[in-house]
Structure 1
Amino acid sequence: MALDSNERPSKPIIKFESMLKTDDVYFFDAEDFEDIIHHYLNNGKISLAKKAIKIGLQQHPHSTELKLLNVEVLVFENNLEIAEQHLDSLQLLDSNNEEIYIQRANIYSKKDNHDAAVELLKKALSLAENNFEIFSLLGMEYLFMDDYQMAKENFMRCVSMDEQDYASLYNVIYCFEFLEDHEGGIQYLNDYLERNPYSEVAWHQLGKMYASKKMLQEAIAAFDFAIISDDSFIGAYYEKGKVLEKMGKYNEAIGNYETTIEIEDPTSHAYLRIGRCHEKLGNYDQAKHFYYRTVHEDPLLDKGWLAITEFHYKKGEHEKALYYINKAINIDEENPLYWKKSAKIYTALKNFDEADFSYKQTVELGNYELDTWMNWGNVVLLGSTDYKSVIQILEQGVEFYPENADILFKMAGVYLMDNNTTDAIACLTNAFQLDSDKFYLFQNEFPQFSDSKLVTDLISDIKKASR
């Protein structure tokens, strides 16, 4: 198994690097070469690992372990055919070496044949029981296959073998979350904490689990224990701040976010959270100050630009809101949220042509939310009498929301404005059957039609047919 990447270079590594700087050739044991190669692989120094493998095989041409490390590098560099040829040769010499099956599994995994990779890893496990690395690899393969139950079980085995293996612990919790088994995740973490009461990582994850279950007091307690275990654990302060926000304790939330800034370099996310808390408290100058700091710290954070834009929009400062959303669009013109906010601002400014263009960009960039289609239709209605264009927009929306009565009631009204009674009746009938309680939407938006004989007779017929 590979050495810890944080381990200090050992004497063989120092000796090897000294040799590379001279024309001398030093002799190393095969085990020394293995340690040297693992060190370079763990630190991402592939070229040095390859040099060590080459010299190592020159000095120890029959070393199976060095040959397998060579295969590992070949697989890493996607030289899969050559790697398989080497494995074929090695398997003829040592068919019971689990590392051969592990590397074959890695090859199949790279080829997206995860079922075959799992079978090979199971074979490796039969040759080397309770092998930590194999359980970890099995867990990853099951994740690739979206089999979160089996992934969870294998990562649990890793944690049971090494309770300080936080990578596997995170994966276990990820599986619980994906399986929406929050109760199971909470129980698992509480059991883990019985054995490891000062694990800040486990307390932090438990707090997030409680928060997802809206068990806010329990979440706060868990984050407090994480902080007691490690008072420099930024994640615990940040997540505690988020929970305090949900509880309406904005001043306390600000205190926790400020602590994250004191411990480490400030982040745009912390500034944004502080700004939102100040806005909720009515400290508008402070809120604006922190929103500006957010976008200064990270000009690419869309939430920052949207927050400062929304801040001015709420205050009725539409020109300022437009200025900042345009700055955001200039930074990232392919962000649909920016264009959607731009459309909203142009609508408030009664610039319906620009609002129409912004909604078009929003949709072209992949935002297909219901309110996008509805508001786009409204904008075209406000700016023109081009009812057919409005119908075309709403028809696209119906493709995404065929069972939504809101958009169908709206489309029925536009059809009536366009004197298309046949399609209007079809839409109104469909909408009423989907959700008759939403008929008030049609009545409010199209009062000129809601009491017409056509509509009242149609509604009466639908009600009779449904009895």
Structure 2
Amino acid sequence: MREENYSEDNKTFDRWLQLYNEIRTGKSAAFLEEDAFLEIIEYLDETQSIKKATEAVNIALEYYPFSSAILVKKADYLIVEKHFEEALNILEQASIYDNHDINIIILKTDAFLGLEKFDAAELELQEALESFQGEECVDMLFELADVYDDYEMFDKVFFCLKSVLNIEPSNEEALYKICFWTEFTGRNEESITLHHQIIDENPYNELAWFNLGAAYQGLKLYEKAIDAYKYAVAINEKFDYAYRNMGDAFMRLRKYKEAIEVLKRTLELTRPESIIYEAIGYCYHKMNNGDNARYYYRKAVHLSPTESKLYYKIALTYMDEMQWEQALKSIETAMVFNQSSSDYDLVKGECLMNLEQYTDAIHCFSIAVENRPKSVTAWSYFIRCLYYAEDYQTTAEQALYAYENAGKKTLFLFYHAFALYAMGQVKDALIYLESALNQSPKQFKKVLELNPSILQNSSVVDLLARFRKSSK
């Protein structure tokens, strides 16, 4: 029966289209009803072009000059063509015939925004909100939210969605959308107040609890966020996004065991995602469980085989265990997919340095320094590697250069002093060592591992002893 009706409808529409084409070409003065014209206009819009749809609108207005619906269509196309003033005139005419058409308000607002008459658009909105109620008002607010989004008036988008929820606190579309716009606009406090009101009215609204948690998370109130997410999953134990966000909140609190538990629950409820495996791997890494960390990082790699940071993180787990060969293989794989990361150059350099491949290590560190000339970390690795390579002259020169060009950090004076000492320039070394100790005595321990035997020199020991006495 449905097929018969569908076939009959098609025949009727084909007949309308035939009559319209006869009217358009002047072959006939046939009569078409208003609804038929509207369907033809919609058809031409979707299947051919706005130009042909506009032509149909103009022909339809010759037959139905007082049709609000057809006038609205004409205004819509005028706005597409950026003829905003003309569109407003048409919409004023349409409102005379039907002042309860939401589309008129939406298009007026769009036209005002196109003319950058933001106050007029705002006034139109306020007046409309007083005129419409219930479901019609909700529909209008959603449409206006889209308009504001198009014109990048994002706070207004949030306002529209908030207004929807004031009318219909359990409107799922608004609850889903306002979560994103809360984060985007940073209106977390406002969102917290709104969702508390919704929860007071309906304490079993899982989306409201989730949004409340997300707003708390936006303010870095992670304990409160977790509490809200726990209510959400108590209402709906399969709410995977609540588990996901809860896992992130636990990670922020460095509660890695709890984070792993809820993130694994997320994997049970939804399709595996690289980002979830990566997060679990990160938690295990922070718990010094390298084997499990690598297991989950590799599961992430299986889903995202060209994601360089995953190989980088695997390298870090090997470095923690001083498995330099394995770490080097992983970081070189990362660099296949991303050759412009200074962090990767530093890690590769550190692996090579610990494997005593100093020439290659120095090359990596020099690239990192070139890319990040103000980085104390990059300079520190570079200079230490030069020292380990026993190129003490270059070590001394680069340490002074780094001191002058990377923030006058005392650490570089210590490096310079140690390099001078290694070259046998003990007097000069003692001068720089004393200067460095006066600025930051605690950093001496950071460089002592370069040459612990320096403490066997009586002059150095005397200097350290004098400094200790003067600092008491």
| Residue in structure 2 matched with residue 124 of structure 1 by the alignment | 124
Please name the residue that 2:316 is paired with: 310
Per-residue deviation, 1:308: 1.4
Cα distance change on mapping 1:361 and 1:128 into 2, 3 Å? farther
Offset of residue 52 of structure 1:
7.8
Per the alignment, do residues 342 and 119 of structure 1 end up closer, same or farther by CA in structure 2, a change over 3 Å counting? farther
Tell me how far apart the structure 2 counterparts of residues 335 and 123 of structure 1 sit (CA, whole Å).
Answer: 51
How far did 1:248 drift? 4.0
Match of 2:72 among 53, 65, 71: 65
1:411 aligns with 2:412: yes
- Unpaired segments ≥5 residues, structure 1: 1-10, 75-82, 109-115, 399-406
* Contact 2:37 2:56 (8 Å CA) reproduced: no
Q: Which amino acid counterpart does residue 408 of structure 1 have in structure 2?
A: K
Asked if 1:397 corresponds to 2:406, the answer is: yes
Separation in structure 2 between the aligned mates of residue 17 and residue 375 of structure 1, nearest angstrom: 80
Tell me the distance in 2 between the aligned counterparts of 1:18 and 1:281.
68
Structure 2 residue matching 1:333: 3-state secondary structure: coil
Partner residue of 1:265 out of 260, 266, 271: 271
Q: For residues 282-329 of structure 1, give each alpha carbon's deviation from its aligned partner in whole angstroms, at most 9, with x where no partner exists.
A: 765444322211111112434422221112222221111111111111
- Residue 409 of structure 1, CA deviation: 0.8
Counterpart mapping for 1:370-389 below 5 A = 370-383=376-389, 384-385=391-392, 386=394, 387-389=396-398
Q: Structure 1 residue 166 and structure 2 residue 175: aligned?
A: yes
Structure 2: unaligned runs, 5 residues or longer: 1-5, 22-31, 96-103, 131-139, 449-453
Structure 2 CA distance, aligned partners of 1:317 and 1:32? 76
Deviation at 1:273, TM superposition (A): 2.9
Pick from 436, 439, 442 the counterpart of residue 440 of structure 1.
442
Which residue is 1:202 aligned to? Answer: 208
Deviations 1:252-283 (A, max 9, x none): 54443333223322111222233344556676
| Residue pair 2:113, 2:121 contacting (<8 A) in 1 also | no
Conserved 8 A contact 2:403-2:412: yes
User: What's the Cα RMSD here?
Assistant: 4.9
Shift in CA distance, 234/257, structure 1 to aligned 2, threshold 3 Å: same
Q: How many residues align?
A: 401
Aligned to 1:222: 228
- For residues 414-446 of structure 1, the C-alpha deviation after alignment (integer angstroms, 9 at most, x for no partner) is 566679x9xx98x969x97xxx6x432157537
Structure-1 separation of matches of 2:11 and 2:409 = 74
1:294 corresponds to: 300
Q: Equivalent residue for 1:324?
A: 330
Partners of 1:368 and 1:202 in 2: how far apart? 46
**Correspondence list, 1:222-261, <5 A:** 222-244=228-250, 246=253, 248=255, 250=257, 253-261=259-267
Q: Give the TM-score taking structure 2 as reference length.
A: 0.65
Partners in 1 of 2:383 and 2:33 — Cα distance? 76
Residues 113 and 151, structure 2, Cα contact 8 Å, conserved in 1: no
Residues 73-111 of structure 1, C-alpha deviations (whole Å, 9 max, x = no match) = 44xxxxxxxx1xx22323344558655553345546xxx
Letter in 2 for 1:87: F
- Partner AA of 1:118 in structure 2: F
Map Cα deviations across residues 353-395 of structure 1 (whole Å, 9 max, x no partner).
4334334444666696543343344334444332333444454
Q: Which amino acid aligns with 2:447?
A: E
- Any conservation in 2 of the 1:325–1:342 contact (CA below 8 Å)? yes
Q: Look up the equivalent residue of 1:445 and give its one-letter code.
A: V
State yes or no: 1:88 paired with 2:76.
Answer: no
Q: 1:408 to 1:241 in 2, by over 3 A?
A: closer
Matches within 5 A, 1:334-373: 334-362=340-368, 370-373=376-379
State the percentage of identical aligned residues: 16
Aligned-pair distance for 1:451?
7.8
Report the Cα distance in structure 1 between the residues aligned to 2:18 and 2:373, rounded to whole angstroms: 63
Q: Normalised by the size of structure 1, how large is the TM-score?
A: 0.66
- What secondary structure sits across from 1:299 in the alignment? coil
Distance 1:341 1:19 in 2: 70
**CA offsets, 1:179-207, max 9 Å, x none?**
6x65x654443223223433333322323
Measured after TM superposition, the shift of residue 119 of structure 1 is: 3.2
User: Measured at CA, do residues 350 and 285 of structure 1 come closer, stay the same or move farther in structure 2, by a change above 3 Å?
Assistant: same
Q: What corresponds to 1:3 in structure 2?
A: none
Secondary structure, in 3 states, of the residue corresponding to 2:344? helix
